[in-house]
Amino acid sequence: MFTIVDRQELTKRDMISLTVEAPAIARRIRPGQFVILRVNETGERLPLTVAYSDAVAGTITIIFQVVGKSTALLASLPIGDAIRDLAGPLGAVMEFENVGTVVGIGGGSGIAVLHHLLIGYREAGNRLIGVIGAREKDLLILENEMNRLCDRVIVTTDDGSYGMHGLVTDALKDLEEQGERLDLAVAVGPLVMMRAVCQMTRLYDLPTIVSLNPIMIDGTGMCGGCRCTVGGERKFACVDGPHFDGHKVDFDELMRRNATYSRDERLSLLSSVRRG
């Protein structure tokens, strides 16, 4: 059992941050790696990325958006309660190199993962520019943390309620047009956002790393549910990734695969609501 030591509601809506006692994982985890948790006996194995870890305190912090039954269940746990299973760290260990200037582009709950990855790039000595976006002001997370970590941060909202009015790709375009020298892009967020970013950076000839979130069960390379096509090859996101060269990822295929269980997910949510 893994005890929850802190819980924050990051937005007025449904973005939750949980800090969980997991000393062994906290010691071992590297930026970009993820965990799989199971809230209770009947629960799913839910892959979640880690926003920060504290090896000294022996805790990891996960940030997630409530989108279905499992995340709602997780969000309902108070401080002091415990998560039944927590396995990790999972995913390949990334190499962080000093390339110069890294632009980190994050959308929605993907900003949490982006933040963790940028810590790795900061440790490698890179200059960081953060571009973070949300649908509206109330849904934006980790702005202060990003401000502390990055040399420059641009905030966008789809409805213009805060920061720049537009999408993260608009901000990226501005940066490019301003003649900002960019050496690497790191994009984490919804698949449509990552696809749009990659289409743009391909034009700019800017190498781009994305973090994928396919369906998976075990997270150790056993089920093959997370397979995706990268550069024409079959890759398992759980052991080969979850980070890949965004210019090689077949996003359309991944979007189709991620929708496989959308009907079941609705059914699961509905049945749990009915039972109260």
CB of 82 to other proteins, least distance (A): 13
Stretch 170-189 residues interacting with other proteins (CB under 8 A) = none
Binds other proteins by CB under 8 A, chosen from 158, 190, 225, 248: 225
**Ramachandran region of residue 14, left (φ > 0), alpha (ψ -120 to 50) or beta?**
alpha
CB of 161 to other proteins, least distance (A): 35
Chain-centroid distance, C-alpha 221 = 20
CB of 209 to other proteins, least distance (A): 20
**Site of tokens 């210019």:** 247
Binds other proteins by CB under 8 A, chosen from 166, 217, 247, 248: 217
CB of 45 to other proteins, least distance (A): 7
CA–CA dist 168, 189 (Å, integer): 10
Give me the 61-100 binding string for other proteins, x by CB under 8 A, dash otherwise: --------xx-------------xxxxxxx--x-------
Size of the site for other proteins (CB under 8 A): 43
Q: Is position 220 an interface residue for other proteins (rule: CB under 8 A)?
A: yes
CB of 124 to other proteins, least distance (A): 21
Instruction: List, in sequence order, every residue forming a beta bridge with 87; answer none if it has no partner.
Output: 36
- Return the number of the residue (38 or 137) whose C-beta is nearest other proteins: 38
Give the CA count within 13 Å in the CB-facing half-sphere of 100: 8
Stretch 33-62 residues interacting with other proteins (CB under 8 A) = 38, 42-45
Cβ count within 10 A of residue 245: 13
Binds other proteins by CB under 8 A, chosen from 148, 165, 202, 256: 256
CB of 1 to other proteins, least distance (A): 10
Long-range pairs of 190-196 with CB within 8 A, sequence gap ≥ 24: 190/107, 190/108, 190/110, 191/251, 191/254, 191/255, 191/258, 192/255, 193/105, 193/107, 193/108, 193/110, 193/133, 193/167, 193/168, 193/169, 194/246, 194/249, 194/251, 195/251, 195/252, 196/167, 196/169
- Return the number of the residue (44 or 158) whose C-beta is nearest other proteins: 44
- Return the number of the residue (85 or 170) whose C-beta is nearest other proteins: 85
Residue 172 identity (one-letter amino acid): L
Q: Is position 261 an interface residue for other proteins (rule: CB under 8 A)?
A: yes
Residue 238 identity (one-letter amino acid): C
SS3 23: helix
3-state helix, strand, coil in the chain (%, to 5): 35, 30, 35
- Binding region for other proteins (CB under 8 A): 24-25, 28, 38, 42-45, 69-70, 84-90, 93, 217-218, 220-225, 227-229, 234, 239, 253, 256-257, 259-261, 264-265, 267-268, 271-272
